[in-house]
Amino acid sequence: MSTVENASPSDDSAAAEATGIAAQDWATASASPQYRAAVVDLLGALAYGELAAFERLAEDAKLAPTLDDKAELAKMASAEFHHFERLRDRLAAIDAEPTAAMEPFAKGVDDFHRQTAPSDWLEGLVKAYVGDSIASDFYREVATHLDTDTRALVVSVLDDTGHGGFAVEKVRAAIEADPRCGGRLALWARRLMGEALSQAQRVVAERDALSTMLVGGVDGMAAGFDLAAVGEMFTRITKAHTKRMAALGLAA
């Protein structure tokens, strides 16, 4: 559920500067068993994340104050489910069993959503706009290290479902009507950022193929992130978060 602001600053130059696996298509890159395993893990994590987002939006619709708001969330939930279907179908197309690919990530994603369950409609909107967008920023950064076919799929399923503009409009209107809720929502957004970053880091740390691709590179074909690049990546994610907070009318 990303917005224009979520696009990584490195996105535009990634194709021009791509080397190794990032310059190859799937047919070529997948000759590396380690790389193939990393992509299956990544698509599995994303697929379960999209399925969970669909479930959560459908649940959040119950908190909607009007029928129009309920319908808007239902539409966004449908878009998330369509993203899930594309990822599931891609896993099947590369001869990976979708359920098996998603299973290792189910507990972590479910734990994140349980720990960050919104208490009301506004917290749900902030979570969808801020929390989910941080995860999208992280996966966009990861995508710069993927083959051209997988990168295109990952970037496309991280496209905005419309929730960004909808959340900004509703949250800003609520703060204007009652400025006191701004402080509460700002604290909530800061908590979401910490939880979302921790969850994204756990996804990589717990899967050897993913961590090797991102940090060590795969079979000498992908450079991965060095320590300086990791710091720069999180700086970009933090800056994007600050912009979103400003768009909502909240202090970062």
Q: What does the pLDDT look like over 72-104, one tens digit per residue?
A: 988 889 999 999 999 999 999 999 999 999 999
Q: Where are the domains of the chain?
A: 26-248
The residue that leads in pLDDT, 249 or 6, is 249
Angle at alpha carbon of residue 99, lines to 11 and 72, rounded to 5°: 60
pLDDT tier at 14, thresholds 50, 70, 90: very low
Q: At what angle do helices 132-143 and 180-205 cross, to 10 degrees?
A: 40
Residues 6+ apart with CB under 8 A from 197: 134, 138, 234, 237
The pLDDT value recorded for residue 227 is: 63
Q: Which residues contact 22 (CB under 8 A, 6 or more apart)?
A: 14, 144, 145, 146, 147, 148, 151, 222
* Paired tokens of 243: 């912009």
The residues, ordered by sequence, that sit 6+ positions from 123 with a Cβ below 8 Å of its Cβ are 185, 188
Give the CATH H-level superfamily of domain 26-248.
Ferritin, core subunit, four-helix bundle (1.20.1260.10)
Return the number of other C-beta atoms located less than 10 Å from residue 32's C-beta: 19
Structure pTM? Answer: 0.85
Q: Yes or no: say if 236 and 137 are a contact pair by the CB < 8 Å rule.
A: yes
Helix, coil or strand: residue 2: coil
DSSP assigned state of 65: S
Residue 40, helix vs strand vs coil:
helix
Q: Reduce the DSSP state of residue 46 to 3 states and report it.
A: helix
**What are the angstrom distances between the C-alpha of 33 and each of 64, 95, 136?**
46, 13, 26
- What's the CA gap between 180 and 38, in Å, rounded? 46
> Which one-letter DSSP state was computed for residue 144?
T
Does residue 210 contact residue 41 with C-beta atoms inside 8 Å? yes
Asked whether residue 12 carries a pLDDT value surpassing 60, the answer given is no
Q: Could you report the per-residue pLDDT of 127-162, keeping only the tens digit for each?
A: 988 888 888 888 898 888 899 999 999 999 997 666
Q: Inform me whether the pLDDT recorded for 165 exceeds 70.
A: yes
